[in-house]
Each structure stands twice: as structure tokens, then as C-alpha cells.
Amino acid sequence: MFIQKDESNMTFKITKKKTLIILLALASVIGLASASVYYSITAQPSITVSNAPIQFAAGNDFPAGSSLGTGSTWVSLALEAYPNATLNYGQPLNITNVDSVSHEFSLSPVSITPATGSSSVGNFTFFNFIVENNMGTQQATFDYSTTGNTWNIPTATSYLTLPAHTSWIIFIQTEAAPGASSGVTANLQIDLNVQQ
């Protein structure tokens, strides 16, 4: 509503149309003003390249054709599987804590090919990854297996505590199905998750 003064008799008239226009104009000005009120705070991180406290290390049975990446934070293992026979890799890979304090780690699945449903999956029976401490005692298992052309993928292991300046072993077992086709390859990606 808008109040209009009538000069002749000093009375006021209320006009709804003018009031609506003025209120809309004021609302838009207020809205614009409040939308532009802000402030900034600043963070200035400093990031330094350093060595990872837990690293991979080649074991005594590091397979031929395998490679360990710069910084020992990734590894590519060239493993084989024989039809109807379990192949044991006693000490292909170590997990080493190079730090002066203990750290916790776990293994978790990321991907595997060929995908479930492919007839190539049925060429394999299992891949077992067994974490052993420096005394040879089993700490965790991380096992892939198949049912027909379907992968049975493990869940992440619980977190394990690796003491300072200590190496543990990943013992690996593989087996292909009876009558498996030679040359079929499975590619796995497994994460080693470290808590700082």
C-alpha cells in the first residue's frame, strides 16, 4: 500500500499499485546488497615430497619380469598359475615400515579383469595373498576365487599394525582350473592402505 498526500485537504490516500511497485524495488535492492556480503579466509599449505613410511620391497622370491616402482610405492608382479596345481610363491614381496614408529595398513580390492561373466574367468581357481609377520605367523588372508565364470572378490582386510623398521611378507598362492587354456591372463589391482 502507498500513502498519497492530498495537499488540498491534508488527507492521505492509499494506492495499492504504487505500494507494490515500491516494495518490489526495495526487495530487489536489499536482495542484491545481501548477496554481495561475504569475506574470505586463507589457508596456505606447504607440501613437501618425502618418502612413504610403508613401502614395497622385493622379496627373496621376487618373480622374474616383475618390477618395483621408484619410491617403492607401487609394484607389478608377474605371476603364473598352473592347471590343477597350487603354485606357492614363498616370499615374492615384502611390506616394509621404514619409519621409527609403527603404522597400520590394510589390503583392499580395486579391480580385476577379465570381468565376471567372461568365459576366461573359469580358467582360474584362486589367488591367495597371505600376510605373514617377520616370524612367519599369518596375520591376514586376502583371497580371490571363482565359481564358474564369476569372481569371488575379497573384502578389505582389517588394519594390521606394522612395527617400526620391520618387514612383513606377502606369501602368494595361485591355481588355474583343470584344463585351463594356456596364455589367459588375469590382471588384479590391490591397494595397500596406510594410516599415517
Predicted confidence (pLDDT) per residue in 47-101, tens digit: 999 999 999 999 999 999 999 999 999 999 999 999 999 999 999 999 999 999 9
> Is 179 contained in some domain?
yes
Cell of residue 89, nine digits: 610363491
Does residue 7 share a domain with residue 60?
Answer: no
Query: What's the predicted TM-score (pTM) here?
Result: 0.77
Does residue 138 share a domain with residue 185?
Answer: yes
Q: What is the pLDDT of residues 8-38, one digit of tens each?
A: 555 445 555 666 666 666 666 555 555 688 8
Measure the CA angle with vertex 13, ends 8 and 16; round to 5°.
150
d(CA 104, CA 135): 18
In 3-state terms the chain splits into helix, strand, coil percentages (rounded to 5) of 15, 45, 40
Q: Which residues on neighbouring strands pair with residue 114, listed in sequence order? A: none
Residue 25 lies in domain: 2-35
> Is 95 contained in some domain?
yes
Cell 498519497 locates to 4
